């Protein structure tokens, strides 16, 4: 069975600090997809990134970057120069190709960025 | 551009009452999902549908039923609400079997 672990329940940083959110996953499939979603205090779920298991290139989007390492089954998310607006709960999720793309979510990491 | 919408946004029920949550999407997506979110638990899949007229159970289906009579709508029903069903319910849709899921704004349900 697939599983996603976000060991960090809550992280507090001061604005402009860099912060990395960890995500470790378990799956028996060789083909799968990994996702990150953001849930700001307003409650909606915002899609951030989708990565397939064959693409291990790191990705950068503005202040956001993602480090996918198959060898350690990790898909970590780094925010550079954090801002107060980054305060949110961040969820990592896994979808196996064989499972009708149902998502298995981690329990989330709450990030609090203070001014 | 509405995307995924959910009705109602908030509801209070008494134990034993029934209700239906409506999810609608205007993106012509084949796949639709219902999740519940509880504190410290992340999101857990209740039921899902891979096309009009089909439904399947997810991780936590007990106490819920679903129907997908039209491609754009996915209904979640609670026949006899229990306090354990107090939660925030999210609907999502996806264009393909491994596509990105796009979420609605959520429905907050309180069962007394």
CA A13 to chain centre: 17
Residues of chain A contacting B, Cβ within 8 Å = 9, 33, 35, 37, 43-45, 47, 50, 52, 91, 95, 97, 100-108
How is residue B82 written in tokens?
């229990």
Residue range A67-83: mean pLDDT, rounded: 95
> Is a pLDDT exceeding 90 seen at residue A75?
yes
Residue range A54-82: mean pLDDT, rounded: 92
Say if CB A21 and CB A90 are below 8 A apart: yes
pLDDT of residue A34: 94
Residue-wise pLDDT tens digits, A4-47? 999 999 999 999 999 999 999 999 888 899 999 999 999 999 99
Query: Which among A68, A9, A89, A105 has a CA at the least distance from the CA of B92?
Result: A105
Residues in chain B with pLDDT values less than 70: 1
Question: Are B40 and A105 an interchain contact pair (Cβ–Cβ within 8 Å)?
Answer: no
B58 chain-A contacts, CB cut-off 8 A: 102
**Where does the pLDDT of residue A102 fall: very low under 50, low under 70, confident under 90, or very high at 90 and above?**
confident
**Which residue in A has a C-alpha nearest to residue B30's C-alpha?**
A100
Distances (CA, A) of A96 to A38, A56, B27, B35: 21, 17, 23, 17
Helix (H, G, I), strand (E, B) or coil at B2: coil
pLDDT of residue B1: 64
> What whole-number distance in Å separates Cα of residue B39 and Cα of residue A10?
13
To test the contact with chain B by mutation, choose from A37, A43, A92, A102 the residue with the greatest count of B C-beta atoms within 10 A, namely A102
pLDDT of residue B86: 97
pLDDT of residue A99: 62
Question: Are A91 and B31 an interchain contact pair (Cβ–Cβ within 8 Å)?
Answer: no
- Token pair 């309180």 is found at B110
**Where does the pLDDT of residue A58 fall: very low under 50, low under 70, confident under 90, or very high at 90 and above?**
confident
pLDDT of residue B2: 73
Residue-wise pLDDT tens digits, B36-53? 999 888 899 999 999 999
């Amino acid at each position: 069975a697939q599983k996603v672990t976000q060991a960090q329940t809550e992280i507090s940083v001061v604005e402009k600090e860099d912060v990395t959110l960890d995500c470790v996953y378990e799956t028996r499939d060789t083909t799968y997809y990994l996702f990150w979603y953001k849930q700001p205090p307003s409650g909606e779920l915002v899609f951030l990134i989708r990565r397939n298991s064959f693409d291990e290139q790191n990705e950068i989007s503005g202040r956001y970057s993602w480090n996918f390492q198959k060898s350690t089954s990790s898909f970590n998310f780094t925010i550079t120069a954090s801002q107060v607006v980054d305060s949110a709960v961040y969820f990592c999720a896994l979808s196996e190709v064989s499972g009708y793309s149902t998502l298995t979510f981690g329990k989330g990491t709450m990030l609090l960025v203070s001014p | 551009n509405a995307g995924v919408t959910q009705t109602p946004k908030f509801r209070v029920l008494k134990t034993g009452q029934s209700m239906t949550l409506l999810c609608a999407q205007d993106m012509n997506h084949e796949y639709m999902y219902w999740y519940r979110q509880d504190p410290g638990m992340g999101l857990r899949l209740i039921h899902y549908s891979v096309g009009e007229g089909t439904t399947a159970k997810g991780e936590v289906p007990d106490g819920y039923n679903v129907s997908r009579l039209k491609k754009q709508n996915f209904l979640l029903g609670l026949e006899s609400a229990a306090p354990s069903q107090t939660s925030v319910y999210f609907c999502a849709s996806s264009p393909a079997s491994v596509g990105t899921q796009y979420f609605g704004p959520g429905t907050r349900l309180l069962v007394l």
